[in-house]
Structure formats: C-alpha cells, structure tokens
Structure 1
Amino acid sequence: MKHISFLFVLFSALFSAQKLQVVDAENGKPIANARIILTDQLLYTNEDGFAPVDENSRDFEVSASGFKKENFKNFSSVIKLEPVFKNIEEVKIINVDIKKIIEDLHKNYNKRYFDKPSLYDITFKSKSFNNDSLFFMVIAEAKLWTKSNSYNFRDGFKKNYDEILQIQLNNVKYKKKSSKGVFNVKTNEFEHASMGDYFFSFEIYRLLANMNIKNSKITGRLISEDNDNQVIYVKVQSERGIDVSGEITYNKIDKVITLYDLNYQQENFPVYKRTNKDGVEFDYQLGNARVIFDFYKKDGSYIPASKKITGEKFFVSYDGKKDERSFTTEIVYNTFTKSDKKGLDPKVDFNKSIWENVPVKEDKEATILLSKEEQEFINQK
C-alpha cells in the first residue's frame, strides 16, 4: 500500500505541474518540443505538449517547427499556435546553393555563434528501446560548462575532453532500467566523435564531409521565407551508403542556422563488428538517425536552446539472435551565463558511463515533466 500511495502522490504532483499545454490551433492536437522562452529560463513541451510553466509567468515566447512564433503577455493554460502553411502547393520552390552556406558556416562558425566560456543549467534525458520496448530511461538536471561552445579537434584526438566540455550531475530525477535481460552493446572506448556529438560545429563538419565525398548529389531548395528567416530543404546522397535529408531554418542576415533538423539514412552502410565491455563480439548495423539543433538569439549572440538525437533500426546480432535498437538523447539548455571559470568541480568522468558518475544533490525548481509513456515506465514494478 505504501508503494501505491507513493506512486499516487508522485503522479498527482506531476499532473498538477502540467500548467501549460501547447496545441495546434487548427486541430487541437498537442505540439511536442515547442520552445518556451521565459524571462530567465527556457523550456520545451514534452511528447504530450505540456511544460511546467508557472501561472505567474509573463511576457514569454512560444515557437515550434512548422508553426508561427507567438509572444504572450499573460499566462494561459492552453497555448494555440497557427501552422505556417495553409496550402503547401502554393509555396514556390527555389534552388539554393546549400553547400556554399555550409562551407561558409564551417569557416566562420566562431564568428556567428557565441564562442566564449559558458555555463548552462541543462535537462538531460536519455531513453533506450530494445525491439520497441523501453528498457532504460534517465532524466537529470545538470550543469554543463564549455570552453568555446564548439568542438576542438586537437583536444578531442588527444582525449583532453575536460578542455572542451564538462558536465556536473545535480538532480538525477528518474533513472530506471528494466529487469528484463538486454544484451549490452556498451564498449570500453569513449570515442572523440561521442564528444563531438555535443556540438553543432561538429555536426556542420560531418555534413560537409558527406557533401565532399566524390560523386555526392547535393540538393538545396527554399521552401518558405518569413522576413529574414528561410526554411531550406536539404538532401545529400553519398556513395558511402548514407543519405542525409531534412530542413534547416537559416537567418540570411546573420548567416546562421537557427534550427537544424536532418535525417541520416544509414541502412545501406556495411555491417561491422564491435566488442562490448564484457568482451563479447557482435555484429552492428547502423540504422537511421535524426539530428536536431535549436538556437536562439540572446543579447546579440546565438546560443544553444536544445540538442536532440533519435535513432531507429540499429540492429545488433549476437549468439544467433538479432535485436533492433532505438534511442533518444536530448539536452535542453534551460539557463545560460557567461563563465570565466576553468570548469566544474566535481565533474563527470567521460571514461565511464555518464550515469555511473555520482550526482551532486541540489535543490532547485524542477524543469522536468514526464510524458504519459515515461510515467507508465516509471510506474512499472
């Protein structure tokens, strides 16, 4: 009974925190990943369209991909956003030299985005699925420090990761792993590319590398324009067996990408062998990944709002069995301050799983709101 009562109290507390929901003005459906910029904090809605916004909040901005950005002077429990397009067939398609844009951004990255030491309060979420069944989830509030907001290849190859980025776990709100046995695919090596994945500059480098492969076919098309912002369709087909496609939002005046949402189709990439921490060799087949980076302008500089990577159809073959893996890793940069410090103490040791590090207990307002699926997983016995 005590266990049931605890879950009831927990669920009630979470439900009462659902003070704001963002929905589509046309059909009333909830909008996931809608960005809410408050006076001193940044939040995103969960999969059900909810975000823990205090009812006393004033003068805030709400935006979402595919919808018109709106500013609100007063709190409302339901926020309605209008879709950008009423009739997609009326949009005129114009070719764009997307490679030129990416080359320019790669060359001038540190001039376009904030490139000084920075300290963020972040929400870190990671979920893993095996054969469509959620088996691991962790959600934490943490601090993230970065020296330049971009990836330093020299320090990365030398494994001087603390010179690039540091994380301090504060409140690990939820951490649960299913009791069902799932084959471990973790390896002992933390590759420099795993550190690179934290940074948009590394993603720009990766996209340009695919563009530069011999015989790559590159497509860029302007599909909408609103004042200084252009939505551009991007497609890159390479001979490596990887196709990239999706959309970016590009500010043509500041020459920055403010929203990057591309899919990597990797199913044709050759199968290769890996060895997990237990010394067991297995075959690994890359699947499809969706990479999202979101930025906003604050005090004249572009700083990160969120980073999200989702993957599906990653196949693991071992001992005559074949499992399908999928995952989601997400960081929301809730607050931002300039930093003149050399880093964090204590900090995460990247030589082991980030969740094996000991968190610092810190009392602060929760920026986390579980979706229905996440709550059901937590409630499982």
Structure 2
Amino acid sequence: MKHISFLFLLFSAFLTAQKLQVVDAENGKPIANARIILINQLVYTNEDGFAPVNENSKDFEVSASGFKKVNVKNFSSIIKLQPAFKDIEEVKIINVDIKKIIEDLHKNYNKRYFDKPSLYDITFKSKGFNNNNLIFMVIAEAKLWSKSNSYNFRDGYKKNYDEILQIQLNNVKYKKDNLKGIFNVKTNEFEHASMGDYFFSFEIYRLLANMNTKNSKITGRLISEDNDTQVIYVKVQSERGIDVSGEITYNKIDKVITLYNLIYQQENFPIYKKTNKDGVEFDYQLGNASVLFDFYKKDGIYIPASKKVTGEKFFIIHDGKKDERSFSTEIVYNTFTKSNKKGLESKVDFNKSIWDNVPVKEDKEATILLSKEEQEFINQK
C-alpha cells in the first residue's frame, strides 16, 4: 500500500526530542507514515521515516501498514519493523462481499467507534498548489471537539455546525501564501458536505452512495491476512464518471476498518460552473482525490489517529486559461480525552475560511519537521 507522509508536531513534553527513525528490517529502507503511540501522545514518521520522540520515552507502540507492530520498552534511535502480511497467491485470491461490510459499518457505526463527546489536541496542515507550484501552506496547533465523532446530517443541513464539531486554533506556526496573479477560486459556500469531510462516518456514507448507483460494479478481494486483520482491495465503478479504488485494513472480529486508503478518480465527471466571492463565474473540472483515515484501539475503544485528503488534476478554466490545482489537508490527533463539556469557549467560525479566524495565543512550544519543499517555501522572500 502506498504510504502517505504526514507532518509531525509534538507539544512541550518533547522539547528534548531526538530523531527516531523507523525502517524496514529486511532492506533498511525508511518507513513513512509509521504510527508511534506514546503514553499520552501519538505521532507519525515523515517521508524519511523520522519522528521526534523524547529520549526518555518508554513502553511505546510502533506500527505501519504492511508491517508487524512492535512494543518498544526503551528508546532506540532506530526501530526495525518486520513485514507482517503474507500476500495471498494470485490463484488463491478470495472474493469479499465488500458492500456487505460497508453496509454493516454504516448501520452500526456508533457501536464500533467511540461515539461520545471527545477533545483532541491536533496538528492541522493544509497546502495548495497551482500548476505544481506550492502557493499556500499553513501549519497549526489546535484543539478539536466532537460531540459524537460522527457526522449528524440533521445538524449539517441546518448548518448547526457547532453541534457537530468545533475547532480552536491555538498556534498558527506557519502561514504563507503566494497567491499574487492567481485566479481567486474561493466561493461563499460552506456546504454541509464540507463539514462531513471531517468524519469517517460521512466517508462511509459517500462510498455506499457510489456502490448504490445504477449499474455500479463492485469488487472486493482479500489480498493478505494476519490473524484477525485483513487487507482488502476495493474497487467501485459507477456510471456517474467516478471510480473508487484502494485498500482497507479490516478487523474481522471487531468488524471495524482501522485503515482506509481509497482514491476517487473523477476526471470523467462533467465540467460544471462555479462562482467565486467576487461574483466571477468559472468552469471547474474535478480531478482525483485520495482519502485516508487511520484508527487505533485505546482502552477497548476505536478512536481516530489521523485523516488526510489529497487532490490532484483539479482544473480551473477562466478567460481562456486553464490552471491545474492540487491540495492536501491533514489532521493528526496527537492526544485524546473524553469530554463532558459542551464544546470549546473559543472556536472557529465555519461560515468563513478557517484560516481567516483569529488564532488563540498559547504559550506552547513545538517541534516541527518540515519537508525540503516546505522549508524552501517558508524561506522564500
């Protein structure tokens, strides 16, 4: 499975953090997006397999898709993971009724994942590209409160967003844009689906909707298995011009998807018109979007670890010019606590761009690992 790199940000407890690297035990290659669960924190490795971890850290878990999970008793600068799954031979490929799994999860979602009020410290990162050039980046520490960890359609349609999810921006560590000369595609819209994108339950609903389209073709195949854990290949072809494909990791005992990584191919979806905030109409062509959700089990309950959406080959057509837009938005849920409070005192107004909100200032240090591209963009005059 293709690994997707994340940004890692640790809070004040990690001021003396050391670079810990996670590598493949068989070939020594770095493992990107390896998850490290510490006592009160959760982080991921970057594209080079590195993550900042306090050298006094003990008894933590390291895992990555396709590798055996390890429990580390004492800090080590290099952690080696063994491949976990034995791929099923092609002649023994087993078909899976993936629609039945998705229907069951949709029906019983709140029984399978934690569904009570929750408070998280998160790392929030967003990037935008125009014709393959990075034009916008923001990295922030924030708090995220969720009433049920799932999307409520009734409140969404009524735009009662604060009843679903609240975000408090604490420290905007980096925010830079280079939008001069770029056609403004921002609209006044914040549809309920934009709020739904924060939740895996909404993604399950969306996948099931594609499965239920007329004459859709659905494929599910078991491609590897290790004890109670299965890796299943998924493909859905619909007449709407949208094809969905990718892999999920499924716990067949708990009946829970723990890792979801699917790509929506949408180039054949018809071009449609949009209007920006200045009232200028333009043509918009959908591209491909990759959706990733990662969960882990803590004290017997499944809670979110990370979420990432990337998009490429989205085209803006205006005044005879065609620009290609790409983007990525990701959240790492660094901490989790059950919440009895009804939300946050200071919160983002979702009726405008999240980054137009004024962040709360907190005296909280952080260590951030930037990629080479990100660092070069920040250093631009």
TM-score, with normalisation over the residues of structure 2?
0.93
**Residue 23 in structure 1 maps to residue 35 in structure 2:** no
Counterpart position of 1:374: 374
Q: Is the 8 A contact 1:123 1:367 kept in 2?
A: no
* Separation in 2, partners of 1:120, 1:297: 15
**Residue 353 in structure 1 maps to residue 353 in structure 2:** yes
* Separation in 2, partners of 1:89, 1:124: 40
| 5+ residue gaps, structure 1 | 1-13
How many residue pairs align between the two structures? 368
Map 1:1-381 → 2, pairs under 5 A: 19-84=19-84, 89=89, 92-178=92-178, 180-366=180-366, 368-381=368-381
* Separation in 1, partners of 2:91, 2:292: 24
Q: Is the 8 A contact 2:15 2:366 kept in 1?
A: no
* Separation in 2, partners of 1:302, 1:15: 29
* Separation in 2, partners of 1:15, 1:302: 29
Which structure carries more strand by proportion?
2
- Cα deviation code 1:252-287 (max 9, x no counterpart): 111110110101010100000001112111110000
Secondary structure at the counterpart of residue 239 of structure 2: coil
Q: CA-atom RMSD, angstroms?
A: 1.8
Q: 4+ runs of 1 displaced by more than 4 Å? A: 14-18, 85-91
- Would the alpha carbon gap of residues 338 and 86 (structure 1) be closer, same or farther in structure 2, given more than 3 Å must change? closer
Secondary structure at the counterpart of residue 194 of structure 2: helix
Q: Is the 8 A contact 1:48 1:372 kept in 2?
A: no
Matched to 2:106, the amino acid is H
* Separation in 2, partners of 1:228, 1:373: 39
Q: 1:87 Cα shift?
A: 6.6
Q: 1:181 Cα shift?
A: 2.4
Q: 1:102 Cα shift?
A: 0.4
Counterpart position of 2:3: none
Q: 1:180 Cα shift?
A: 4.0
* Separation in 2, partners of 1:36, 1:112: 23
Q: 1:366 Cα shift?
A: 1.9
Matched to 2:193, the amino acid is A
Secondary structure at the counterpart of residue 28 of structure 1: coil
| 5+ residue gaps, structure 2 | 1-13
Q: 1:178 Cα shift?
A: 1.7
Q: 1:239 Cα shift?
A: 0.4
Q: Is the 8 A contact 1:17 1:369 kept in 2?
A: no
Q: 1:83 Cα shift?
A: 2.9
* Separation in 2, partners of 1:91, 1:175: 51
Q: Is the 8 A contact 1:48 1:371 kept in 2?
A: no
Q: 1:88 Cα shift?
A: 6.7
- Would the alpha carbon gap of residues 117 and 228 (structure 1) be closer, same or farther in structure 2, given more than 3 Å must change? same
Further displaced range: 185-194 or 77-86: 77-86
Q: Is the 8 A contact 2:304 2:333 kept in 1?
A: yes
Q: Is the 8 A contact 1:43 1:367 kept in 2?
A: no
Q: 1:56 Cα shift?
A: 0.9
Amino-acid identity (%) = 89
Q: Is the 8 A contact 1:287 1:313 kept in 2?
A: yes
Q: Is the 8 A contact 2:85 2:224 kept in 1?
A: no
- Would the alpha carbon gap of residues 380 and 30 (structure 1) be closer, same or farther in structure 2, given more than 3 Å must change? farther
* Separation in 2, partners of 1:95, 1:294: 24
Q: Is the 8 A contact 1:33 1:49 kept in 2?
A: yes
- Would the alpha carbon gap of residues 298 and 45 (structure 1) be closer, same or farther in structure 2, given more than 3 Å must change? same
- Cα deviation code 1:83-105 (max 9, x no counterpart): 33577757831011000000000
* Separation in 2, partners of 1:250, 1:91: 22
- Cα deviation code 1:330-355 (max 9, x no counterpart): 00000000001111111000011101
Q: 1:16 Cα shift?
A: 8.6
Secondary structure at the counterpart of residue 58 of structure 2: coil
Matched to 1:173, the amino acid is K
Matched to 1:57, the amino acid is S
Further displaced range: 361-370 or 246-255: 361-370
Q: 1:184 Cα shift?
A: 1.6
- Would the alpha carbon gap of residues 87 and 293 (structure 1) be closer, same or farther in structure 2, given more than 3 Å must change? closer
* Separation in 2, partners of 1:272, 1:326: 18
Q: 1:24 Cα shift?
A: 2.5
Secondary structure at the counterpart of residue 99 of structure 1: helix
Q: Is the 8 A contact 2:84 2:226 kept in 1?
A: no
Q: Is the 8 A contact 2:86 2:225 kept in 1?
A: no
* Separation in 1, partners of 2:301, 2:161: 25
Q: Is the 8 A contact 1:151 1:199 kept in 2?
A: yes
- Cα deviation code 1:137-173 (max 9, x no counterpart): 0010100001000000000000000000000000111
* Separation in 2, partners of 1:312, 1:105: 29
TM-score, with normalisation over the residues of structure 1?
0.93
